[in-house]
A and B are shown apart, each in its own frame.
Chain A
């Protein structure tokens, strides 16, 4: 349906442009117009397209919630009495019946009678909304067009007005960024708020039991499980630390070598290769972790374990022999590999921002390159590098696919890299990809985790950007 409206709109806009141009040409006869006819045409076009588009966008954004509201108003009591998710299923079936498809479920007596009635009512509401939106849009287009036609006079500053519109449109583009942030905050905060009504925020932040699927005690809050997120935070932290142990030294030393030692050809070869490493999608890293690195590490530790069993370190051997693919080390190591190019390219930029005069000064004192790097460049670049590492940390915390595919689901509170841990992102994916019942604490907890994740990474990013910014300004 929306396509038809869009087509009509395009046709109306084109007509407005041509008509406006022609009109301007005619009215300009004998006068000294301010703007050219084409600019008047563009002005008319904008007045036709912009209001109509606005109406269409508003209609498509608000029609679904409006439809729900309208449907809810006239609901028969039997339907209104249903549980939330049953009611949703009923309306979904009514929708299907309305479109002439068979219902998915078999509804018992009072409901089965309501179904075709409700189906017709839903179709009516939907059609009304659809037609209403379209007619409102066309009306807006016509009104806008009429207004524009009255404005086409030789003395009208059509060019300036068109430019004003362009300016406004460009500003709206930028404002989308702010709207996105607001959207993220609103959607996370809204569902998180509902979650924290069921589970106290302190229990969530400081509880050490995480088992959203099964209730541990009968009197458990949320009555579906335990929602203490500390094991997730610990797991996230553990994997992040392992990742940084891999990425920070390798990335930093690569950057130092590339910016201080490597010749032009080496750089020309290595840098694109690092970019390839950076461009590999995370799902590919996840596959690599799950099917290559995990088994490799497991076999390695199991062999050591088998070797130790029976010896003086028998206990350790027993433990190592049973290490799993999903140990924290697997996900951490692969995430570290993923972050190498990120750390390296950021550090490379930072090192290149250190003025050449400092290098010259150090070399002229008789310092070797490594002494220059260690005693002058790194101390000078330290804040910048710290900022770069913070950005990498933020990446590691928010990374999802590697951990989802290579880390476990067991929420163990441990700092042993050979144990299985789970992370915030893994739990979000797990909670939201199974069968979900909306409004259950289990589903809503994913939004609580998401909000925590968003806030933590946001703070890290703000700090990191601030540090890097101050650092760069120092040498500008």
Chain B
């Protein structure tokens, strides 16, 4: 390339041009490679965070899915059981003393050993035994095997969460208790199995008895209210804005409004719910009806935006064709445009419901931070919700709640994954290309 001809001097001087071009190339390609790596690193970082997040949750939570049960034969000593009021009898003490005796251990005068043994059993033992006695009083005087969960600390030790190597005063089990647990396990008294209580129980102050069912039902009730309110309103608003709204100031205000509402912090909706629904309308605090209303208002803007884009995707030719056939505007929209946009509308609705399911902050303000035992069944009674249960358990001081928190997160994520997967399948299945 000899381009040193004198007429090649417009623009960059021709002399040595190619050399100059070549000289810079190496540096430029190095920069290019570096830049590309920045991008790769950014993606890798994001993926790493996701992986660490999920792995940590599974790592912390998987142990909550199995638990340990101890099976102790208890001699229902007639001398120590009140037939008239079995609930008042100290079954735990009874079981602990008998277990000590079976293991050939002599209790001291103060009874500290029995007290320590007692702490290895869940307080559930008392209720199981009392229940049995009040139903079948003939068991008094017999020896019945009782299967009860281990207490949370004993369970944690067997799962390896409490280590023998920790100094005794820094762990919640004494050396003696640990030795007993080891012995009971080798003797086959303790068995491990799937933790069904986690899925069949409501919340409890005893970690080994606490379950997510109450919160799942609470969340479901709340989402039902949300869906019933938000979906019709959101779809209606979207139809009006997309198909009917005249181009005027009012429409502009509504549109800007919806866009801004979508970005209002969720906690502000909580404040709205507290002030409007609880303090002013006196709806019951922490009830699914209030939670559902708050979440509905919060989900509304995103739902409107999603529905509008689904309606936008229906080509105008469909509307023109229907109108040309003599259909009125309303008929066109409801019998032609909306059915075609339905998959998109449903997808948007499911995704916004999934989002509402995970929302926590507003629930705290409408009172869903308090302990709600059992499984609720009414929409005007206080309930817990999955995300608020996670928050409550995370704040609990018992270490056994940590693994359960992670387990509750896994349950929440599974529900969200199911909902999102449903949305994706719906989109794939009915996706139409115009």
Contact = CB atoms under 8 A, between A and B. Distances in A.
Interface of A: 60-61, 64-65, 67-68, 159, 163, 166-167, 169-178, 180-181, 183-184, 187-188, 190-191, 249-254, 256-258, 260-261, 270, 273-274, 276-277, 279-288, 290-292, 337, 340-341, 344, 368-371, 373-374, 391, 394-395, 397-401, 404-405, 425, 428-429, 432-433, 438, 446-447, 450, 453-454, 457-458, 461-462, 465
A274 B281 CA distance: 41
A167 B237 CA distance: 10
A260 B42 CA distance: 14
A90 B232 CA distance: 40
B304 A287 contact: no
Contacts of B391: 283, 286, 401, 404-405
B194 interface: no
A370 B35 contact: yes
Contacts of A282: 358-361
Contacts of A447: 271, 275
A429 B368 CA distance: 12
Contacts of B234: 173
Given A253-B41, A276-B50, A284-B57, A167 B266 contact: no
A341 B35 CA distance: 20
- Which residue, of B28, B264, B271, has the highest number of chain A Cβ atoms within 10 A? B271
B260 A432 contact: no
Interface stretch (B10-18, B81-89, B239-247): B239-247
A134 B35 CA distance: 70
Contact of A178 (B52, B236, B254): B254
A81 B406 CA distance: 50
Contacts of B57: 284, 287-288
- Which residue, of B35, B395, B402, has the highest number of chain A Cβ atoms within 10 A? B35
B412 A177 contact: no
Nearest to B278: A64
Nearest to A434: B369
25 contacts: A166-B330, A170-B244, A173-B237, A175-B254, A177-B254, A177-B300, A177-B301, A184-B269, A256-B39, A273-B46, A273-B50, A277-B53, A280-B358, A281-B412, A284-B409, A287-B394, A291-B60, A368-B29, A370-B35, A398-B265, A398-B266, A405-B394, A428-B267, A432-B365, A458-B264
Interface residues of B, number: 89
A393 B392 CA distance: 28
Interface in B41-86: 41-43, 45-47, 49-50, 52-53, 56-57, 60
Interface in B212-250: 232-237, 239-241, 244-245
A425 B361 contact: yes
Nearest to B424: A272
A432 B272 CA distance: 13
Contacts of B183: none
B372 interface: no
Given A178-B253, A397-B265, A250 B46 contact: yes
A72 B57 CA distance: 53
A257 B354 CA distance: 29
B360 A188 contact: no
Contacts of A287: 57, 390, 394, 405-406, 409
The 6 A-B pairs at the shortest CB distance, nearest first, are namely: A398-B265, A257-B39, A281-B358, A173-B236, A253-B42, A187-B275
Given A181-B261, A257-B43, 15 more contacts: A64-B280, A65-B280, A68-B282, A178-B253, A180-B297, A258-B43, A291-B60, A337-B53, A370-B32, A373-B35, A394-B263, A400-B267, A405-B395, A447-B271, A453-B268
B288 interface: no
Contact of A176 (B233, B264, B274): B233
Contacts of A191: 275
A120 B84 CA distance: 38
Given A163-B330, A283-B390, A292-B56, A257 B42 contact: yes
Contact of B369 (A187, A337, A433): A433
A183 B369 CA distance: 24
A462 B260 contact: yes
B120 interface: no
Nearest to A277: B50
Contact of B239 (A170, A284, A395): A170
Contacts of A190: 275
A188 B260 contact: no
B363 to A, nearest CB: 10
A431 to B, nearest CB: 10
A429 B360 CA distance: 11
Contacts of B34: 370
Contacts of A397: 265
B40 interface: yes
A67 B281 CA distance: 10
A270 B47 contact: yes
Given A281-B412, A287-B405, A433-B365, A261 B32 contact: no
A40 B39 CA distance: 64
B358 A163 contact: no
A250 B360 contact: no
A411 B358 CA distance: 29
A459 B232 CA distance: 30
Nearest to B298: A180
B286 to A, nearest CB: 11
B257 A281 contact: no
A284 B265 contact: no
Contacts of A180: 261, 272, 297, 300
Given A286-B391, A405-B391, A425-B267, A183 B276 contact: yes
B265 A453 contact: yes
Contacts of A256: 39
Contact of B39 (A261, A290, A425): A261
B46 A344 contact: yes
B176 interface: no
B240 A400 contact: no
A57 to B, nearest CB: 11
A429 B364 contact: yes
B265 to A, nearest CB: 2
Given A170-B244, A284-B390, A254 B271 contact: no
B8 interface: no
A139 to B, nearest CB: 23
B296 to A, nearest CB: 10
B275 A188 contact: yes
B387 interface: yes
A132 to B, nearest CB: 17
B164 interface: no
B394 A286 contact: yes
- Which residue, of A169, A188, A273, A428, has the highest number of chain B Cβ atoms within 10 A? A428
